[in-house]
Amino acid sequence: MFTRRTDLALAQDNHSRFLPWLIAFMVYLAILAMAGTFILNGLVVTWDRNMSGTMTVQLPSADNPKQNKRNIDKALKILRVSPGISNARVVTAKEMMGLLEPWLGGSSSLSELPLPQLIDVTLVPGDDVNVKAIAKRLDAAVPHASIDDHRVWLDRFLRLIRTVQAIAISILALICLATVGTVIFTTRTGLAVHQEAIEVLHLIGAQDTYIARQFSTRAMMLALRGGFIGLALAIPTLIAIGTLSAAMDAGAIPKLSMGFDEWFVIGVMPLATAILAMVTARFTVLKSLAQML
């Protein structure tokens, strides 16, 4: 099929020479957009898993350590009898120092700061915890105690990521449309350039599909070539992004990496583009030929 000789001199067409490069460019952009959605997906899953099973109780710093201790005991007591909570653990002063150190520096003066007391609460997965009720009881026991269940923050974060993802998918759809449009344009030009030869084939008794096959095979080959160029350019880009993000080594940013499935989807992009181009060219030719007697 690939080595078939063609009756139309499509290989000599100047107007289709740019097609592989345009398609390479579009496949490149499509892969980046696609990789973006994959990475964000991974991010959402990781953050959702890590954050939604926990909440943090914050108790205001009291005047003296004894009062602090009493407050903590009261809070723990309330938390441990509340339904849906599997564990409540006081964040030690040492851990607090560790969390603050990157921002404030490791100085002994830290211990003199009136830091709030934090209790790390682990929730029973799947249970619906009545955060409001717990907060009310905590506030009654320890004035100004508050609960941060990360939900509000996480929801906003997820909404942002989903929006970015939707934009990436729209870009992907636009790239597909642009590819289809380019193939249609190239095919129509080809039909016009080879009109005389097509008419001869037609009068000799060629079926429309016989003529369409020559165009669709050609479009497929050009798109395949372009697709592989695009893929070849996209892979180093993705690897570079991955390496740079790994070098950042920031705790808040999970590893920007993709699994085998994702790499596989990206790997078949040239093939998918070739099929898209083939089908587009075929329908363009058939539609045009249908106007002949």
- Min dist CB 185 to other proteins, Å, is 23
Task: State the DSSP code for 126.
Answer: T
Alpha-carbon gap, residue 77 to 143, rounded angstroms: 15
Q: Which residues contact 75 (CB under 8 A, 6 or more apart)?
A: 57, 59, 88, 119, 138, 141, 142, 145
- For 146, phi then psi, to 5°, come to -140, 155
Please, which residue, 9 or 166, has the CB nearer to other proteins?
9
- Min dist CB 281 to other proteins, Å, is 19
Please, which residue, 180 or 206, has the CB nearer to other proteins?
206
Please, which residue, 17 or 80, has the CB nearer to other proteins?
17
- Min dist CB 276 to other proteins, Å, is 26
- Min dist CB 287 to other proteins, Å, is 13
The runs of H, that is alpha helices, within 194-207 are: 195-204
119 three-class SS: strand
Please, which residue, 22 or 289, has the CB nearer to other proteins?
289
Please, which residue, 177 or 292, has the CB nearer to other proteins?
292
Cα 253 off chain centre by:
14
Q: Which two tokens stand for residue 110?
A: 């830290």
For residue 248, the one-letter residue type is: M
Please, which residue, 152 or 290, has the CB nearer to other proteins?
290
Please, which residue, 6 or 243, has the CB nearer to other proteins?
6
CA distances from 12 to 15, 45, 179 (A): 9, 51, 22
- Min dist CB 284 to other proteins, Å, is 18
Residues making contact with other proteins (CB under 8 A) = 5, 7, 9, 12, 196-197, 199-207, 210, 290, 293
Please, which residue, 11 or 164, has the CB nearer to other proteins?
11
Task: State the DSSP code for 14.
Answer: S
Helix and strand counts by DSSP (H, E) for the chain: 9, 4
- Min dist CB 41 to other proteins, Å, is 47
- Min dist CB 195 to other proteins, Å, is 12
- Min dist CB 218 to other proteins, Å, is 14
Alpha-carbon gap, residue 82 to 86, rounded angstroms: 9
Alpha-carbon gap, residue 169 to 256, rounded angstroms: 18
The full DSSP string for 233-255 is HHHHHHHHHHHHHHHH--TTS--
